[in-house]
């Protein structure tokens, strides 16, 4: 069991993207195969490039010196104004 008092949740930094990508790939490929792992990892990479990407919502959990990504939506759809 993880001691929650030793966990810090914060936005990921660009210097952590590669490590987070690797963790995402490993998490999904081990359970669902390499193709799915690669697909999900590419999805996260692409989301970071979108105009709707909100870095403050792309979180990592830090436990001592280990980083564990939270699965999260990293962008919001563009809002469309509807006229009557």
pLDDT digit string, tens, across residues 39-83: 999 999 999 999 999 999 999 888 765 555 554 544 444 444 444
pTM given for the model? 0.68
Structure tokens at 44: 């996260």
68: nearest Cα among 6, 3, 13, 9: 9
45: nearest Cα among 19, 17, 69: 17
Residues forming beta bridges with residue 53, ordered by sequence position? 75
Neighbours of 74 (CB within 10 A): 19
**Where do we find the tokens 């690797």?**
22
């Amino acid at each position: 069991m993880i001691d929650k008092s030793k966990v810090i949740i914060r936005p990921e930094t660009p210097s952590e993207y590669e490590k987070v990508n690797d963790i995402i790939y490993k998490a999904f490929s081990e359970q669902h195969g390499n193709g799915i792992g690669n697909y999900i990892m590419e999805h996260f990479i692409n989301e970071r490039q979108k105009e709707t990407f909100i870095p403050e919502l792309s979180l990592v959990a830090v436990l001592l010196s280990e980083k564990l990504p939270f699965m999260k939506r990293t962008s919001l759809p563009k809002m469309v104004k509807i006229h009557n």
